[in-house]
């Protein structure tokens, strides 16, 4: 009888522990959604590439400095995305793509989301000030401010929100650069220009895929308001501009034939996807463009880094 009782207690404890683990996993999943983990991860990739590009002595990177710069920026990016969801929780509830997020679904309270966003912003900026420099922290703060207080409210008011959002989204690679150099050089500005222009085909492909949801939410984004042919034509124009700016390192002495060939092939791939989007104006062509855009940016920046380090 005693053994049976102990076994039952053990089973109850096991079930209780299993439930706790399940609850922890669900809570972690909610926080990953709150910070838009995939988007924040892409931000961190561009920060890291900007950091590596700024190194003067080949691969002499201090891993702790590099890792903490990425962590600080990730926390600020996560905070920006969390504040964005706090402000848009009502419209998120209207869209199929976002209604299951933790705030509109009710799995997370507004207070919890706000405290999490505030703590991430404070922690991330503090890390950047202490580990990198105040300029990198100021850039991260500017990106967060523009994204939350300009881009987010403009989405329901003006199609020019895309331009404002692109400014915020183009700052991260400069954060990586400034964390190393403590100054904004010409190459940092080129990084900004590449990412600024790249965001238009990237974002418009997303907006095209989810345009019905965006219409329900009342977002004033170009693919919702513009004539379809005009939208896809502008997408092609911005894609070409992105590729042309990406070729800037060819003008530098240390970047030679291999880089030029790589930029040409990547650019042809990117432009081809944009042209197909312009021609077919379909969900499939928008998905292809989005996939190509997601690959193009890190690939062209990695190619630039390799060319600079190896002189090829």
- pLDDT of the chain, 312 residues: tens digit per residue: 445 565 555 566 666 667 788 888 999 999 999 999 999 999 999 999 999 999 887 556 688 999 999 999 999 999 999 999 999 999 999 998 899 999 999 999 999 999 999 999 999 999 999 999 999 999 999 999 999 999 999 998 888 899 999 999 999 999 999 999 999 989 999 999 999 999 999 999 998 998 888 888 888 776 655 678 888 999 999 999 999 999 988 776 455 688 889 999 999 999 999 999 999 999 999 999 999 999 999 999 999 988 887 765
Class of residue 172 by CB neighbours under 10 A (exposed 0-12, middle 13-18, buried 19+): buried
Residues 163 and 148: their CA atoms lie apart, in Å, by 14
Residue of 122, 132, 126, 120 lying closest to 65 (CA atoms): 132
What is the maximum alpha-carbon separation in the chain? Answer: 85
* Structure confidence at residue 197 (pLDDT): 97
Q: Which pLDDT belongs to residue 62?
A: 82
Smallest Cα–Cα separation from 97: which of 219, 212, 186? 212
- Is 202:46 a contact under the CB 8 Å cutoff? no
Residue 312 pLDDT: 56
Residue 258: what pLDDT?
80
CA distance 219 to 62: 43
Per the rule left: phi > 0, alpha: psi between -120 and 50, beta: everything else, 158 is beta
- Can you give the pLDDT at residue 7? 56
Q: Which pLDDT does position 201 carry in this prediction?
A: 96
Q: Rounded to the nearest 10 degrees, how much is the dihedral formed by the CA atoms of 157, 147, 284, 45?
A: 170
Alpha helix positions (H), 88-185 = 89-92, 102-105, 110-127, 134-146, 152-154, 161-169, 172-181
């Amino acid at each position: 009888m005693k053994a049976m009782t102990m076994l039952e207690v053990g089973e109850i404890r096991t079930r209780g522990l299993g439930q706790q683990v399940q609850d922890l996993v669900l809570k972690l999943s909610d926080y990953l959604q709150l910070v838009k983990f995939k988007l924040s991860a892409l931000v961190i990739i561009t920060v890291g590439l900007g950091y590596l590009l700024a190194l003067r002595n080949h691969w002499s990177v201090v891993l702790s400095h590099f890792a903490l710069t990425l962590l600080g920026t990730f926390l600020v990016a996560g905070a920006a995305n969390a504040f964005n969801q706090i402000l848009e929780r009502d419209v998120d509830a209207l869209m199929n793509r976002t209604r299951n997020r933790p705030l509109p679904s009710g799995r997370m309270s507004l207070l919890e989301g706000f405290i999490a966003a505030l703590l991430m912003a404070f922690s991330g900026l503090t890390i950047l000030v202490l580990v990198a420099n105040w300029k990198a922290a100021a850039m991260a703060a500017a990106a967060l401010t523009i994204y939350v207080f300009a881009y987010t409210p403009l989405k329901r008011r003006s199609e020019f929100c895309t331009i404002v959002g692109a400014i915020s989204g183009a700052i991260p690679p400069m954060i990586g650069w400034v964390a190393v150099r403590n100054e904004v050089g010409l190459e940092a500005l080129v990084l900004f220009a590449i990412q600024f222009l790249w965001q238009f085909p990237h974002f418009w492909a997303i907006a095209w895929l989810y345009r019905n949801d965006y219409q329900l939410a009342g977002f004033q984004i170009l693919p919702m308001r513009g004539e379809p042919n005009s939208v896809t034509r502008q997408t092609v124009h911005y894609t070409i501009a992105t590729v042309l700016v990406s070729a800037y390192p060819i003008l530098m002495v240390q970047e030679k034939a291999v880089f030029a060939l790589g930029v040409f092939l990547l650019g042809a791939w990117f432009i081809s996807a944009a042209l197909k989007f312009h021609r077919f104006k379909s969900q499939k062509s928008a998905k292809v463009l989005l996939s190509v855009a997601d690959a193009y940016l890190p690939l062209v920046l990695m190619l630039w880094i390799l060319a600079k380090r190896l002189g090829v």
